[in-house]
């Protein structure tokens, strides 16, 4: 969208113009829906969260100061709404990543160390694979992560945002982004390494 037109639509929306608000968010609805769906992985939940997010965007818009792009600001609201809905419907402890950490043998040696690899290069490729089994395993792995780790992994490795963008999006430090991403990759590795080795 043209920056001048978007600025005008924001201004009109902030003054209560409903038509302007519809025109403002319309081009980004696909982006918002996709981001929410990656978190919730359920069509009905995604629709509910998107509706709540749009209401929040409308309510918060008078306080939007243009320090970031409107789409970035609104997308963050959508992601936060998805995380809140997920927390309310899936009760789980803060961090269960330890269940999926690499296993050790009785003599203290790390098992299958040769299979350890950097998932930052492979995550997007795996997600794009058409195999239903692979996608099912990826969803299973994502569901084992805490909400915070899952959000960072999705934004960083699947959406392709850089560390600074993710930090701004979630309102956390760059160091915390890196920490959560590292733990998320370790957690996914436990499930996906075993599965991919079995396929080979």
Compute the CA torsion angle 69, 75, 77, 83 (nearest 10 deg): -150
Q: Is the pTM of this model over 0.85?
A: no
Give dist(CA 24, CA 22) in Å, integer: 5
Least confident of 29-33, 35-39, 135-139: 135-139
Distance (Å, rounded) from C-alpha 42 to C-alpha 39? 9
Buried b (16+ CB within 10 A) or exposed e, 175-189: eebeebbebbbbbbb
Provide the β-strand partners of residue 110: 104
Query: What is d(CA 155, CA 166) in angstroms, rounded to the nearest whole number?
Result: 6
CA atoms within 13 Å, Cβ hemisphere of 93: 5
Distance CA 16, CA 111 (A): 61
Query: pLDDT averaged over the chain?
Result: 76
Question: Above 60 in pLDDT, residue 36?
Answer: yes
Phi, psi of 96 (to 5 degrees): -110, 25
Element (H, E) at 194: helix 174-199
Catalogue all structural domains in the chain, each as residue range(s) with its CATH number. 3-89 (1.10.1740.10), 97-199 (1.10.10.10)
Task: Express each pLDDT in 55-93 by its tens digit.
Answer: 999 999 988 888 888 998 999 899 888 888 877 764 443
Render pLDDT for 104-125 as a digit per residue (tens, 0 to 9): 455 555 444 444 444 444 544 5
Q: Tell me how far apart the alpha carbons of residues 143 and 90 are, in angstroms, rounded to a whole number.
A: 10
Q: How many residues does the chain have?
A: 200
């Amino acid at each position: 969208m043209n920056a001048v037109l978007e600025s005008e639509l924001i201004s009109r929306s902030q003054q209560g113009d409903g038509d302007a608000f519809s025109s403002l968010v319309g081009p980004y609805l696909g982006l918002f829906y996709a981001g929410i769906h990656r978190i919730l992985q359920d069509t009905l939940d995604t629709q509910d969260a998107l509706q709540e997010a749009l209401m929040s965007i409308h309510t918060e818009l008078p306080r939007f100061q243009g320090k970031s792009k409107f789409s970035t600001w609104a997308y963050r609201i959508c992601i936060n709404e998805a995380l809140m809905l997920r927390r309310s419907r899936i009760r789980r402890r803060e961090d269960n990543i330890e269940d999926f950490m690499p296993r050790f043998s009785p003599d203290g040696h790390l098992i299958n160390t040769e299979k350890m690899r950097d998932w930052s290069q492979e995550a997007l490729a795996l997600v794009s694979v058409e195999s239903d089994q692979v996608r099912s395993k990826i969803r299973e792995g994502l569901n084992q992560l805490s909400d915070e780790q899952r959000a960072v992994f999705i934004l960083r490795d699947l959406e392709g945002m850089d560390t600074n963008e993710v930090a701004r999006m979630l309102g956390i430090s760059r160091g915390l982004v890196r920490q959560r991403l590292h733990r998320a990759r370790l957690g996914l590795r436990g499930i996906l390494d075993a599965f991919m080795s079995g396929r080979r």
